[in-house]
Chains A and B, each alone.
Chain A
């Protein structure tokens, strides 16, 4: 050690640090301080999510038009396969089935893409994590917000389809706002959880599409759970219906589609369940992510 002035001679590094009030670099802040830091970075979080969204289609000739065209094409493909070829509508009239399918696809895609971008939120942005200081939760949160903005474009398509099949805007459409907020909380929580897992095991990004596809088929995106499981025991139907993806999907359909019966399609206490999933996942995911804050960025 070079020329240390005499009063500090013989102090251990830790004692020296304590004497002058130095803090450990890269230590995890307390949960309260972490939330505060994150709030301080809110403009960055929003700007980053918007930048990602714009960058997505910036090389395409049609540009931002793809934001609307992509979900529309998706819906058309699913309709062709499940509506026309497989007849998954099971007794639902066309006027109900098409908006039912489109709503399901868009709402599930919201969760699906939040999880997919969450898995890569840290492992795909190591450069950023190793170069700049910011609470790392900013990344998965920002990606979830990006997916929300993407969904808002899909909503335009969703409204057009709903109106096209005779469901006119009413008071029930206002329910979309709380539903989306709850789903956003749920998605963000889930994204935070998989972001931590994906930071430790990047292989999850390869595995995730299969898990998500299984989840999609089990959640009744293309078919009505109560229609499909008519002859099965009640508990099996209930189990599928209270899974978070199905809850948010069915609530959205209930809000948008007139002929979508609430009685057989929604589980009891559906709003309570929707709120419960959102709070449990968001709070749990946030704390889980924060617990490893100081370890993100290790190769």
Chain B
């Protein structure tokens, strides 16, 4: 298998190079102080005094032994009911949540589309654009270059000079628009989108959907978490169905969605 180059040319439409490999991945959350129903000080004390392997800690096994191989050019949808481990799986692929056991191998740095956590409500929109850009790993020059584009895309300044006001003064729609605009300003290798990103009014939704399509074209592999079967059908050619942290089905979109719709009783 030393000569790969001619082989790769033959299968251009289905590039065999994997970008993400998950191998028997398990993710466990540890929650402090949730073992007993009682949250009182005495029950916390008795938990500490009662010796055990891990006192007062409850474990939530969110992802149980998921394995799959994602390849370049694939757009993969993640479906499953609430709490089935979709977002957790995405974070683990991105290397943001340490795995309990098993491994995720990736080509390049997968990134989640989202920057909310780095922004500060007490700062002006202007400074948040810069801070958010830097937090996502853009250089100062890149941020400067894209600044105007981000502000224009968000449409924050359409109704006056709002970008120089603190973000806490924004309406929730305006803040969501600015957050999306910042997050979508960067291009990614492996892109992961966690549902309901297209927020705001109808006009902005259209604009952000178009931007997601654009990002998808640039990225090598795309993961999309959504409860909207229509947007999964529009976007993805392969679907992973998670239920209770286990991979229940993995296959072409129509096949899996068909089963999923039967399961949910639609």
Cβ distance B63 to chain A, nearest Cβ, rounded Å = 13
How big is chain A's contact interface, by range?
35 or more
Q: Which of A2-58 contact B (CB under 8 A)?
A: 2, 4-5, 7-8, 12-14, 16-17, 19-27, 40-41, 43-44, 47-48, 51-52, 54-55, 58
CB atoms of B16 and A8 under 8 A apart: yes
B205 part of interface (Cβ distance < 8 Å): no
CB atoms of A299 and B127 under 8 A apart: no
- Given that A13-B69, A14-B103, A128-B117 are known contacts, is A2 also in contact with B18, CB under 8 Å in the complex? no
Question: Which of A85-93, A130-138, A163-171, A258-266 is the contact stretch?
Answer: A130-138
Residue pairs across A and B with CB atoms within 8 Å: the count is 156
Q: Which residue of A is nearest B17, CB measured?
A: A20
Other-chain residue from B97, B104, B118 in contact with A128 (beta carbon distance below 8 A):
B118
Q: Which residue of A is nearest B104, CB measured?
A: A25
CB atoms of A54 and B123 under 8 A apart: yes
- Given that A22-B107, A131-B116, A132-B135 are known contacts, is A13 also in contact with B21, CB under 8 Å in the complex? yes
Q: Which residue of A is nearest B128, CB measured?
A: A51
Other-chain residue from B20, B30, B105, B137 in contact with A133 (beta carbon distance below 8 A):
B137
CB atoms of A7 and B122 under 8 A apart: no
CB atoms of A25 and B95 under 8 A apart: yes
- Given that A43-B134, A51-B123, A54-B123 are known contacts, is A25 also in contact with B93, CB under 8 Å in the complex? yes
A61 part of interface (Cβ distance < 8 Å): no
- Given that A5-B11, A47-B131, A133-B95 are known contacts, is A17 also in contact with B105, CB under 8 Å in the complex? yes
- Given that A1-B250, A132-B117 are known contacts, is A51 also in contact with B127, CB under 8 Å in the complex? yes
CB atoms of B14 and A5 under 8 A apart: yes
Q: Which residue of B is nearest A26, CB measured?
A: B95
Q: Which of B83-124 contact A (CB under 8 A)?
A: 91-99, 103-107, 109-112, 114-118, 120, 122-123
In the bound complex, what is the Cα–Cα distance between A231 and B118 (angstroms)?
54
B46 part of interface (Cβ distance < 8 Å): no
- Given that A134-B137, A294-B98 are known contacts, is A51 also in contact with B120, CB under 8 Å in the complex? yes
CB atoms of A127 and B250 under 8 A apart: no
In the bound complex, what is the Cα–Cα distance between A54 and B22 (angstroms)?
42
A44 / chain B contacts, CB cutoff of 8 Å: 131, 134-135, 137
Other-chain residue from B18, B68, B166 in contact with A22 (beta carbon distance below 8 A):
B18
B98 / chain A contacts, CB cutoff of 8 Å: 26, 294-295, 297-298
In this complex, the member of B14, B16, B252 whose beta carbon has the largest number of chain A beta carbons within 10 angstroms is B16
Q: Which of A109-146 contact B (CB under 8 A)?
A: 125, 127-134
A21 / chain B contacts, CB cutoff of 8 Å: 107
A227 / chain B contacts, CB cutoff of 8 Å: none
CB atoms of A25 and B115 under 8 A apart: no
In this complex, the member of A132, A134, A295 whose beta carbon has the largest number of chain B beta carbons within 10 angstroms is A132
Q: Which residue of B is nearest A54, CB measured?
A: B123
B29 part of interface (Cβ distance < 8 Å): yes
B31 / chain A contacts, CB cutoff of 8 Å: 299
In the bound complex, what is the Cα–Cα distance between A52 and B104 (angstroms)?
34
A202 part of interface (Cβ distance < 8 Å): yes
A59 part of interface (Cβ distance < 8 Å): yes
Cβ distance B69 to chain A, nearest Cβ, rounded Å = 6
B195 part of interface (Cβ distance < 8 Å): no
CB atoms of B30 and A25 under 8 A apart: no
In the bound complex, what is the Cα–Cα distance between A2 and B130 (angstroms)?
42
B67 part of interface (Cβ distance < 8 Å): yes
A298 / chain B contacts, CB cutoff of 8 Å: 29-30, 97-98
In the bound complex, what is the Cα–Cα distance between A238 and B122 (angstroms)?
46
B23 part of interface (Cβ distance < 8 Å): yes
CB atoms of B30 and A132 under 8 A apart: no
In the bound complex, what is the Cα–Cα distance between A148 and B24 (angstroms)?
46
Cβ distance A289 to chain B, nearest Cβ, rounded Å = 15
CB atoms of A25 and B118 under 8 A apart: no
In the bound complex, what is the Cα–Cα distance between A294 and B68 (angstroms)?
22
In the bound complex, what is the Cα–Cα distance between A13 and B68 (angstroms)?
9
What would be 5 A-B contacts, judged by CB atoms less than 8 Å apart? A22-B105, A52-B120, A129-B96, A130-B96, A298-B30
Q: Besides A5-B16, A52-B120, 5 other CB < 8 A contacts?
A: A5-B11, A41-B137, A127-B117, A130-B96, A295-B98
